[in-house]
Amino acid sequence: MSSKAITEKQDDRVAERPQSTGTPPEPIRETAPSVMREDEPTLPRTMGMIGAALVIFGGMALAFNLSGRAVNVSGGWSILILALGLCGLLFHAAFDRDVQLRRLYMGVGLVALALGVILTLIPYPKVMFSQFRWAVPCFFLALLFLVAFLRNEDDAYFRDITQKILLGAGGLMALVGLFGGNIKGDFFLPMGLVYSILGLIYIAGFVSTRGISDDLGYYAALGLSVAGGVVVLFAIGRSLFTENGSSYFVSYGLMLLLVGVLYILTGLGMSLDWPLLVLARREVGAFFFSPIAYLTMLGFSVFSWFSFLGFLDRLISPEEYGPAIEPIVQQYVFALFPVFTVIFVVPVLTMRLLSEEQRSGTMEVLLTAPVSESVIVGSKFLGALLTYMVVWLPFGLFLLAIPLAGGNAFDYRPLLSFLVALLVTGAGFMAMGLFFSSLTKNQIASGVLTFAGMLALTYIYFAAHQTRNPVLETVLTHMSFLDLWYSTLEGKIVPRFLLFYSSMTVLFLFLTVKVLESRKWR
C-alpha cells in the first residue's frame, strides 16, 4: 500500500514563542505533502532470490551432466530445479517495479532471444536447426521475460522498442513456420509447427501489450487472421486438387489447417470490439496479471514433468513394461498425474470468477454497463476456458522433446481427437465452476463446491467399471470424462460421448444467467 500521510498545511498559523524574548513570532514555513512511496515488494524479491539460487544450482548441475561429469543430481532433476528457479525469477520480474531490476530482466529477455537465434542458425553438428531443441526454451524464456518487463515499464521509448522486437521476432517465426511448412512437409513437423505456435504467441503478446487502440496493434491482430486464412486455403487446396492430396492431408495438411484456424480465431478475438470479446479479453488479462495463472501453470508443469518421466521410463524399459504400442500418447495422458491435477486446477481457475465480483461490489457496476447478463456470463466462461486450455500447453510441449531430441516418430493424430475432448469436457468443468461461483460471495466456498463436483465426475469412471448392470454401465460411461478421454486417445471421436458435457455446459451457463437475473427480483 502506498503511504497517504500528508502533512497539514500551516500557512495561517504562527509559532508559539515565549513573549518575554521581545522577538515577534515567525510564521512557520509551509510544508508540502509527504512523498508517496510504494511498499517494498518483499514476496517477489524473496522469490527472486530463491529463484536465482535455484538457477545457479540447477544450471551448474545440468552443465556437469552434459559434460559427462558424475554428480549426485541427475539431468532430469537438474532441469526441474532450473525450471523452478526460472519461475521464481519470472515471478519477481512480473511484480517488482524497480527500474534497475526491470531493465535487467529486459536484458535477460533480449539475451535469451539472441541466444535462441544463434542456436537455430548454427550448422552443428551437421546442418542448420540441429540445435533447435535448445533454441525453443530460449525463445519461450525471452517471451516471458520481455512480457514481464513490459508489464512494469513506463518509459515510452523502451516500451516501443521492446514491443517492436516482439512483433518482428513473432512475424519472422510465423513466416518460417507456416510457409516453410507449406513448402516442405517434413520441416513442418516438428520445427515448423513449433515456429508457427511461437510466432502466434509472440504476436499475441505484442498485441496484448500494445492494445488494439494503437494502429500497429490492430493491424497486427488482423494480420494474424489474414495469415491464418491463407494457410487454411492453401492446405485445403493442396489436399483437394493435387495427386497426393489425401496422403498430404493425413500427414501434414490437417495440422496446417488447425494451425491456420487457430491464427484466424486469435486474430479475430483480439481485433474485434464486440462486448463479449472485450470482456473475455479482460478476464484473460485478469488471470495473467495476477499470480493465479502462473502458479497454476507452475503446478501443472511440475506434475506434467513427473508424468513425462514415468512415460519415458516405460518407453526405454520395454523388458519391464512391455513394448510400446501405438497410440503411445494414450499412456502419457491417461495417467494418475494429469487426472489428479485437473481436479484441483478447475476450482482454482473458477472460484473467483463471480464470487470476487460480488464480494468487492463490482458486480453492481458491471451490471449497470450496457451489457446483458448473458454477455457477462459468456465472457467469464470464455476467459476461464481459454486459460484452462493454456494451462494444458506445457503438458503437450513435453511431447515435442521426443522428436526434437531425435527420437522415433510417434502417431500424433490421437492428440487431435483428444484436443476436441479436452475442449468439450473443459467447457463443462468451467461452466460448473462458474455456476458455483455465482452462488456465493466466498471464494473458498465456491472452490470447495467445484472441487466436490470434480470428485463426483471422476468417481463416475470407477462406478461405471464396477457396476454389473449393463444399462447403468452404459449411462455412466457416457457421463465419464475419463472414458471420453480414453476413447479419443485411441483416435476415435464418438459424437454421442460429447453430448453429455455439451449439455452440461449449456445447462450450467443457463443457470448462471438466471442466478444473475435473480438479483433484479429482490
Distance CA 150, CA 206 (A): 10
pLDDT in tens, 240-282: 888 787 777 877 788 888 899 999 999 998 888 888 888 888 8
Contact in structure between 261 and 416 (CB atoms under 8 Å): no
**Measured between alpha carbons, how far is 341 from 331 in angstroms, rounded to an integer?**
16
Compute the distance between CA of residue 473 and CA of residue 483 in angstroms, rounded to an integer: 11
d(CA 368, CA 282): 17
Residue 410 has what pLDDT? 67
Instruction: Quote the CA–CA distance of 127 and 33 in Å, as a whole number.
Output: 65
Domain spans, the chain: 156-272, 290-309+323-399+411-517
List the one residue out of 129, 158, 127, 162 whose CA is nearest residue 147.
162
Return phi, psi of residue 90, to 5°. -65, -40
Q: What is the pLDDT along the chain (522 residues), one digit of tens a residue?
A: 444 444 444 444 444 545 555 555 555 565 555 555 555 678 889 999 999 999 999 889 888 887 878 788 877 788 778 888 988 898 899 888 888 998 999 999 999 999 999 988 888 777 777 787 788 889 989 998 999 899 889 899 999 999 999 999 999 999 988 887 677 666 777 788 889 989 999 999 999 888 888 899 999 999 999 999 999 998 888 888 887 877 778 777 888 888 999 999 999 988 888 888 888 888 888 887 777 777 788 788 878 777 887 777 777 776 666 666 777 777 777 777 788 888 999 999 998 888 888 887 777 777 777 788 899 999 999 999 999 998 888 777 777 666 655 556 667 778 888 888 999 999 999 999 999 999 988 889 999 999 999 999 999 999 988 888 888 988 998 899 998 998 888 878 888 889 999 999 999 999 999 998 887 666
- Three-class SS state of 14: strand
HSE (CB half, 13 Å, CA atoms) of 240?
7
Instruction: Please count the other Cβ atoms lying within 10 Å of the Cβ belonging to residue 191.
Output: 23
The SS3 assignment for 378 reads helix
Query: Is 469 strand, coil or helix?
Result: coil
pLDDT at residue 522, as a whole number:
60
27 strand-pairing partners: 14
Q: Facing residues of 14 across strands?
A: 27
Q: How far is C-alpha 69 from the chain's CA centre? A: 36
What is the pLDDT at residue 318? 67
Backbone dihedral angles phi then psi of residue 286, each to the nearest 5 degrees: -65, -35
For residues 99 and 103, what is the distance between their CA atoms, to the nearest angstrom? 6
**352 close to 432: Cβ distance less than 8 angstroms:** no
Q: At what angle do helices 291-316 and 336-350 cross, to 10 degrees?
A: 170
Instruction: State the Cα–Cα distance between residues 385 and 284, nearest whole angstrom.
Output: 9
Cell 533454441, residue? 135
418 and 488 Cβ atoms separated by less than 8 Å: yes
Q: Are 143 and 201 in contact (CB under 8 A)?
A: yes
C-beta separation of 429 from 408 below 8 A? no
Residue bearing cell 526460472: 86
As a whole number of angstroms, the distance between CA 235 and CA 249 comes to: 8
Classify residue 364 as exposed, middle or buried by CB count within 10 Å of its CB (0-12, 13-18, 19+): exposed
* Distance (Å) of CA 400 to CA 129, 185, 296, 406, 407: 15, 17, 21, 10, 10
Place of cell 539460487: 53
pLDDT tens profile 312-334: 777 777 666 666 677 777 777 77
Rounded to an integer, what distance in angstroms lies between the CA atom of residue 145 and that of residue 61? 23
The CA distance from 356 to 476, in Å, is 34
**Alpha carbon distance, N-terminus to C-terminus of the chain:** 37
The H or E element containing residue 82 is helix 75-95
198/21 Cα distance (integer angstroms): 80
Backbone angles phi, psi at 316, to 5 degrees: -90, 0
Q: How far is CA 363 from CA 138, 368, 373, 463, in A?
A: 41, 9, 11, 40
